[in-house]
Structure 1
Amino acid sequence: MGKITLVLTCCGMAFQTGMAQEPPKWANKARKAVFSVITYNKENQILNTGNGFYIDENGTAVSDYTLFKGAERAVVVTADGKELPVEYILGANDMYDVVKFKTAADKKIVALQPTSRPGAVSETVYVLPYSTQKAASGTHGTISKIDTISNNSFYYTLNMKTGEKTVSCPVMNAEGEVVGLVQKNSDKESTSSYAIGIGYAKSLSITALSANDFTLNTIGIKKGLPEDESQALVYLYMSSSNLSKEEYLNLLNEFIQQYPKNSEGYSRRAICYIGYGDDAHYALAEKDLQTMVEVNENKGDAYYNLSKLLYNYVLGLQGAKPYGDWTMERALKEINTALENDKQGLYYQLQGDIYFAMQKYPEAFASYEAVNRSPLASAASFYAAAKTKELIEGASKKEAIALMDSAVAKYNPPYGKEAAPYLYERARMKAEDKQFREAVVDYNLFHDAMMGQVSSDFYFIREQAEMQCRMYQQAINDINKAIEMEPKNAEYWVEKGSVHLRVNQPEETVKALNKAIELDAKNAAAYRMLGYCQVQQGKKKEGMANLEKAVELGDTVAKNLIEKYKK
């Protein structure tokens, strides 16, 4: 029998050939797996039409990405004429123009079996187009070239002519297995055509990082979840900032449906419900929180998460009335239950934070001390203990400084930016304890840790400590630096005037204070110091006038000076 050439003239037409030839036995059943795809834009207008086919009986299918780009929804029309919506996008690649998706399930989906072996050069293959006719139609040819594009993924050049109506139709081998799907040919007259291997299309998936995938995000249809549970959790996190509240809630619902024993899904959905801010959603959140505890085998972790959520909720209220018993007292009760299950440092940390918010500082300090005795001890936990110690009535400032020493000791000199906040706080505490020279040392360490990237306010604060320990030149340098960074700050000019007055530099004092008054005509302190300086210079008339101006602005010290100089 001579070689027979089959030519597909249009979708749905029978084989046309010089001699009659029966299509392969599997063709009539296989055609039911091929469908038409219709995509729609935001205005619900038809965007594109094309083909696709099922690769499993659960409704997983493949087609070309071009059909779906910019689509807000899509449907498939099966060979039996049934219209089924596309529910999820399961992966996409714009380079090879292929997309994987899932449709709503029909009673019995007929799917093509992906081949377990790659095609071979010269192997006969068949293209099976979409058809609503009972008789299958198609064309066949051979594989002329195979390119490997990744592990177990291939790109085929076919010795046959195909047209636009066969794009994304399946390429089958003689055993009735799908080898690939037809790609669009840029040369309509070419006698060659191309197909992306089914292994590549089948391997498309949603991963933890797919939430930021540009190709996927050009498709408005919702995406499926990663099949791996841990990746699905990361995907939830990554998607939370990209989706609307309603879209994110739908995604959470899908996650819970897919992973009903994962407590994180209930926790995140509870947080989402709380974001709505009404009692109806608070009630739903409470139910999810209870389920979160029930399904979590680690009860300590479950009660910790419940307590932390309540703690954050109450902090966010800023004094407003809470929902039901969602109070700090309830949060404390839940963290205490967590500690009954497992005395972790992390749990003591939260317990301390709750006590701190309740202004129960001795109890908070005890909790932070428990953290500091645990492997979780850190610069932050020692700082929390130091800050709490400061607020305990009758506590020594030196005890708080000792705790800050422990915080700083978590870092090795020369200190970097990570240590900077703790150096700054220790300097502040030392200054308040009148250890001014030691405070300046810490401020210097902070400055170096920040590589000099500090604010004008820092120079202003360090200058004040330097003045207290008579480091006058350093103080002058610092207040000048503060002014250089913020020249229109009247308070800095007043401070500069004060420094020069202290070291008996009257001309510099007058210049600085006049500048302060120029910037702020109601600055009483500037008038008082200017008046005092002028009196000392023998300019009593001008000095008394400025002192009287200070009194007018409410300065009581100036009033005493006027009484003194009137005598």
Structure 2
Amino acid sequence: MKRIFIITMSLMTLALPSMSQSAPKWTKKVKKSIFSVMAYDKDSTLLQSGTGFFVSEDGNAVCDSKVFKKAHTATAIDYKGNKYPIDLILGADNAYGLIRFHVDTKESEPVKTVDQTAVKEEKVWTLAYSADKPSFTSALIDSVSHIGDSISTNCYYTLSKAPETKFYGCPVFNADGEAVAIMQPSSGEKGFALDINYIKNISIQAIGSKADNIILNDTDIPKGLPESMEESLVYLYMKSRTASNSEYIGMLDLFISKYPNNAEGYFRHATPMIDTYQFDKAEADLNKYYELSEEKDKALYNISQTILSKLIYQPEPAYDKWTFDYALEKINQAISLNPSLENKLMKAQILMSKKDYASAYDCYDEINKSKDRSPATLYAASVASAGRGDSIDQQIALLDSAIAIFGDPLPAEASEYVLKRGELYNKAGKYKKAVLDYNKFCYLCNNKVNDRFYYDREQIEVKAKMYQQAIDDINLAISHAPNVALYHAEKSGLLLRVNMIDESIKAAEKCIEVDSSYVDAYRILGYAQLQKGDKKSAMENLKKAVEMGDTTAQQIIDKYMK
């Protein structure tokens, strides 16, 4: 009986939880490196908590990424109960469910790590945060494998038993109190741990993986920057297209604090200042950018371009200091330092935006008389020529020169030049030449044009008395956009013009079917019915047009129906 009692007591001892085991002597020392992470939503309601541990003396730490899921803010609580805000997320790793972050504390004691790999059968201890007695569990290492391949320096450990979930993401120590791994989620009866040195791979990447970005985007806590200045600039560029103004400004502020002598940071900071109407701050940013820039002419170019963009795309609210003349002043300074083509083109662009077409034309003309002449500068000169009131023939001549530079056969990029010339031919009353250019444009685009193009060409073809081509084009417009009433009305009127009365009536009726409020359709239908001799139907539709406000319909009634 006594023997049975002893065996039973032995089994009970084995079954006791890990807390009943004596804690290693070094737990008092390492507890300074371990803390509780409390994550909250925007209403300061606790979402979840877990254990984090310091990995550097300046507050960098690691824990299970699930702790930060949907978090708006987070706090670290150390072994003394002191609370510190977690101010930045420094990276995430979706493969192993870890997140790296920064605790806003004056000093931190990191866990001591070793480069030496733990070995099979070695005993290890995992520690979680606890306000009083140490919370730990121990296990033996069953096997050691390398991550990815045998060349990898990082190892993955299989442990003799699975830990409680509270230990996920906690540091794993050897007998000397040195951190060798990070506990991973278990599967079945075995536990798993990731080499402690793997944390060196966890950082914000300029172009991060989709999987890692899922973790980063799933928390509202501000994000840090990649480790290098060059990668940080790439990262900022990528984020400028997706981040909110407040989030982007925070990233830029962080960049400037980290790299106060980098001119690019101040230049980029000016953009969200403009977007948020903080124009004085934007001006200060641009001045600092110029001060720190090594290439002053490029800085002046960028400043003038920034001012011009604000004037064009965000004219209100106005910033009195930023005018077209101020932008001109900056680009003229740039030209005095470097009379490059880029600077001269910026000056011409500013003058065009100012509607000083004569001065803009002079800028383009100077370029077009030099080796820098191009189709684009000749095209721009044509637009400036129109602005200053020159003849259409002069505008066309400039486009002829632009198109000639492309050579024969014309490439696809010449299409817009050809179309613009066709528009000018139409304006000059040279309709057949206009149609030829529209045809050439369509060819250069491989016939990939829309309904509006066919309608516009049809309008010119009617003026050129090219009626069959016009009918073909209006039908093409309708085939691309069958629910546009204008096209059906235009078709009806065109068919009426060439005395295709029955077809005209059908087209007008289709127009009314598409849009019963389209008044022109009733007038054209009534007039077509009148031509066919159906005066009763004609009168009904003409009166309908009159009731809808069409004065021409009344004139038809007065002339033909009385």
Q: State yes or no: 1:249 paired with 2:249.
A: yes
1:423 counterpart letter in structure 2? V
Q: State yes or no: 1:60 paired with 2:35.
A: no
Instruction: Please report how far the alpha carbon of residue 206 of structure 1 lies from its aligned counterpart in structure 2 after TM superposition.
Output: 0.7
Tell me what 2:431 maps to.
436
Tell me what 2:221 maps to.
221
1:85 counterpart letter in structure 2? P
Tell me what 1:286 maps to.
283
CA contact (8 A) 2:505 2:528 kept: no
Q: Secondary structure at the match of 1:248?
A: helix
Q: Give 1:493-512 correspondences, 5 Å limit.
A: 493=488, 495-500=490-495, 503-505=498-500, 508=503
Tell me what 1:86 maps to.
86
Number of positions where the alignment pairs a residue of Structure 1 with one of Structure 2: 541
Tell me what 2:205 maps to.
207
CA distance in 1: counterparts of 2:61 and 2:508, whole angstroms: 79
Distance 1:87 1:421, change over 3 A: same
Among 191, 196, 199, which residue is 1:198 paired with? 196
CA distance in 1: counterparts of 2:285 and 2:337, whole angstroms: 21
Q: Secondary structure at the match of 2:186?
A: coil
Flag structure 1 segments of 5+ consecutive residues without an equivalent: 17-21
CA distance in 2: counterparts of 1:377 and 1:113, whole angstroms: 66
Among 320, 327, 335, which residue is 1:324 paired with? 320
Instruction: Please report how far the alpha carbon of residue 144 of structure 1 lies from its aligned counterpart in structure 2 after TM superposition.
Output: 2.2
Q: Give 1:324-473 correspondences, 5 Å limit.
A: 324-369=320-365, 380-403=376-399, 406=402, 410=406, 415-416=411-412, 419-473=414-468
CA contact (8 A) 1:32 1:79 kept: yes
CA contact (8 A) 2:125 2:137 kept: yes
Instruction: Please report how far the alpha carbon of residue 468 of structure 1 lies from its aligned counterpart in structure 2 after TM superposition.
Output: 4.2
Q: Which moved more, 1:349-358 or 1:241-250?
A: 241-250
Distance 1:265 1:378, change over 3 A: farther
CA contact (8 A) 1:38 1:76 kept: yes
CA distance in 1: counterparts of 2:550 and 2:132, whole angstroms: 97
CA contact (8 A) 1:307 1:334 kept: yes
2:473 counterpart letter in structure 1? D
Q: State yes or no: 1:15 paired with 2:42.
A: no
Instruction: Please report how far the alpha carbon of residue 55 of structure 1 lies from its aligned counterpart in structure 2 after TM superposition.
Output: 1.2
Q: C-alpha offsets along residues 469-505 of structure 1, whole Å, 9 cap, x if unaligned?
A: 4433212211232344445655545543554455454
Distance 1:248 1:195, change over 3 A: same
Tell me what 1:149 maps to.
148
Instruction: Please report how far the alpha carbon of residue 59 of structure 1 lies from its aligned counterpart in structure 2 after TM superposition.
Output: 0.9
Tell me what 1:309 maps to.
306
Tell me what 2:183 maps to.
182
Instruction: Please report how far the alpha carbon of residue 45 of structure 1 lies from its aligned counterpart in structure 2 after TM superposition.
Output: 2.4
2:279 counterpart letter in structure 1? Y
Identify, as 1 or 2, the structure richer in helix.
2
CA RMSD of aligned residues (A): 4.3
Instruction: Please report how far the alpha carbon of residue 69 of structure 1 lies from its aligned counterpart in structure 2 after TM superposition.
Output: 1.7
Instruction: Please report how far the alpha carbon of residue 31 of structure 1 lies from its aligned counterpart in structure 2 after TM superposition.
Output: 3.4
CA contact (8 A) 1:149 1:155 kept: no
CA contact (8 A) 1:6 1:15 kept: no
2:266 counterpart letter in structure 1? Y
CA contact (8 A) 1:345 1:375 kept: no
Instruction: Please report how far the alpha carbon of residue 195 of structure 1 lies from its aligned counterpart in structure 2 after TM superposition.
Output: 0.7
Tell me what 2:7 maps to.
none
2:109 counterpart letter in structure 1? V
1:57 counterpart letter in structure 2? E
CA contact (8 A) 2:89 2:102 kept: yes
1:244 counterpart letter in structure 2? S
Q: C-alpha offsets along residues 205-237 of structure 1, whole Å, 9 cap, x if unaligned?
A: 111234971121112221111122232223223
Q: Matched residues, percent identical?
A: 31
Q: C-alpha offsets along residues 310-353 of structure 1, whole Å, 9 cap, x if unaligned?
A: 112112355x5722221111111111112222223332222222
Q: Secondary structure at the match of 1:185?
A: strand
CA contact (8 A) 1:262 1:295 kept: yes
CA contact (8 A) 1:124 1:143 kept: no
Distance 1:517 1:198, change over 3 A: closer
Instruction: Please report how far the alpha carbon of residue 100 of structure 1 lies from its aligned counterpart in structure 2 after TM superposition.
Output: 1.0
CA distance in 2: counterparts of 1:105 and 1:200, whole angstroms: 24
CA contact (8 A) 1:261 1:296 kept: no
Q: State yes or no: 1:170 paired with 2:171.
A: yes
CA contact (8 A) 1:39 1:46 kept: yes
CA distance in 2: counterparts of 1:327 and 1:556, whole angstroms: 52
CA contact (8 A) 1:378 1:407 kept: no
Q: Secondary structure at the match of 1:247?
A: helix
Distance 1:344 1:476, change over 3 A: same
Q: Secondary structure at the match of 2:147?
A: strand
Tell me what 2:8 maps to.
none
2:37 counterpart letter in structure 1? V
Instruction: Please report how far the alpha carbon of residue 203 of structure 1 lies from its aligned counterpart in structure 2 after TM superposition.
Output: 1.0
Tell me what 1:19 maps to.
none
Distance 1:228 1:373, change over 3 A: farther
CA distance in 2: counterparts of 1:369 and 1:525, whole angstroms: 53
CA distance in 1: counterparts of 2:233 and 2:464, whole angstroms: 56
Q: C-alpha offsets along residues 404-441 of structure 1, whole Å, 9 cap, x if unaligned?
A: 6525855986754x554333223212333444333323
CA contact (8 A) 1:15 1:137 kept: no
CA distance in 1: counterparts of 2:41 and 2:534, whole angstroms: 85
CA contact (8 A) 1:89 1:100 kept: yes
CA contact (8 A) 2:171 2:182 kept: yes
CA contact (8 A) 2:89 2:222 kept: yes
1:69 counterpart letter in structure 2? K
1:86 counterpart letter in structure 2? I
Tell me what 1:297 maps to.
294
Tell me what 2:73 maps to.
73
CA contact (8 A) 2:162 2:186 kept: no
Distance 1:386 1:82, change over 3 A: same
Tell me what 1:33 maps to.
33
CA distance in 1: counterparts of 2:97 and 2:209, whole angstroms: 19
Q: Give 1:258-297 correspondences, 5 Å limit.
A: 258-277=258-277, 281-297=278-294
Instruction: Please report how far the alpha carbon of residue 511 of structure 1 lies from its aligned counterpart in structure 2 after TM superposition.
Output: 5.7
